[in-house]
Amino acid sequence: MIHFFALDPALARDFESFRFCAKHCGPGTGRLISDLPPGEWVRACVDEVNIAIRERALPPVKGEAVKKRLKRLRASVLQRPGSGWDYSGDWLEDALVEHKRDSFAAMISHGFTSDSPERCFRPDEIDEDSEHWDTPTGIFITRSPGSFVDAVFPMLEAAKEIHLIDRGLSVDSDRMYMTNLRDLLQRLGRIEPPFPKVRFHTCPSAEFTPSFLRNFEADCRAELASLLPRNCEIEFRLWRLEGNWVERGAHPMHNRYVLTDYCGVEVGYGCDSAKGQTDVEDHVHILDQSLYKSLWNRARGKAPFPGLILGNTISILSSSSGK
């Protein structure tokens, strides 16, 4: 669902091509613009716009429109995990080296020709129906172990902060929540630092007695602490129901989500899986950005979760055997 595209900053000189790419890229579309050179892509585009204006190749009004679009894009231009970049000053040459090392979903540049490598296109060669541009925003997965993490991990790789929301969290081996969390933490631990902030929001049906909280913390620590990189943690936020929401026909934490600092997905069944291989299907789809932002504010405590009150927060720190 999440795919990284490499767009030549020189596209910013071409108002129509840049407008098409900018309009159809972004977290809600599943198409992410790679920040190449790292941390410099937006600045490189602005430089190209200024040069084009000075050379009278781009009208100033259109140039300013491109700059405004770039300002809005800045927060959603992301560095692809594991990207290496030895910048020689020739964006196309350097990007092709990176593309050979690890292919982008597609590269777009006016500098490509019919002899260019696979997945390399001129802007007039792409539209909404182009094979490598047509990225799905939702997929079917199975409830088999590993399928859930396989589906969401490409989104998590680029994240600085991750929130999982699933009221059914359990350490019971029949539910396989801990198996998926262990898999997720192990994969995150293999990415170059820093380790992202990870929070799991749940709404236990049990009473929040001292023994329940002690056992919950002990079980989570036993399952997860050794997998966390040194000095890192995973935080569990345990929510309680407020009022008679269930009697009114809806649990306020019924839907399940995985959110990051740039986008999120809804997961049908949730963050667990079946104990063994199965052909039972689930689905995962990228959230509309307006819905994502509302949920993100709730998960970060900047807006209330309707019908819920935060009961307890439990942090599991890396153990001495953590990396």
Nearest to 63 by CA among 15, 7, 16: 15
* β strands within 119-268, DSSP E: 120-121, 138-142, 161-165, 197-202, 233-241, 256-260, 264-267
pLDDT score at 83: 66
Amino acid, res. 217: E
Answer yes or no: pTM beyond 0.75.
Answer: yes
Q: How far apart are CA 43 and CA 12, in angstroms?
A: 11
Inter-residue contact 94 to 87 (CB < 8 Å): yes
Q: What is the mean pLDDT of each run of 10 residues along the chain (323 residues)?
A: 94 95 92 91 96 96 96 91 75 92 94 91 88 90 95 94 96 84 94 92 94 95 93 95 81 95 95 93 95 97 94 91 48
pLDDT score at 320: 55
Task: Say how many C-beta atoms besides its own lie within 10 A of residue 207's C-beta.
Answer: 9
Nearest to 1 by CA among 159, 191, 154, 164: 154
Nearest to 104 by CA among 32, 20, 159: 32
Structural domains in the chain, CATH included, are: 3-125 (3.40.50), 138-317 (3.30.870)
Cα distance from N-terminal residue to C-terminal residue, the chain: 30
Inter-residue contact 201 to 253 (CB < 8 Å): yes
Cis-peptide, bond into residue 37, ω within 30° of zero? yes
Amino acid, res. 281: E
Cis-peptide, bond into residue 194, ω within 30° of zero? yes
pLDDT score at 322: 44
Q: How far apart are CA 187 and CA 207, in angstroms?
A: 33
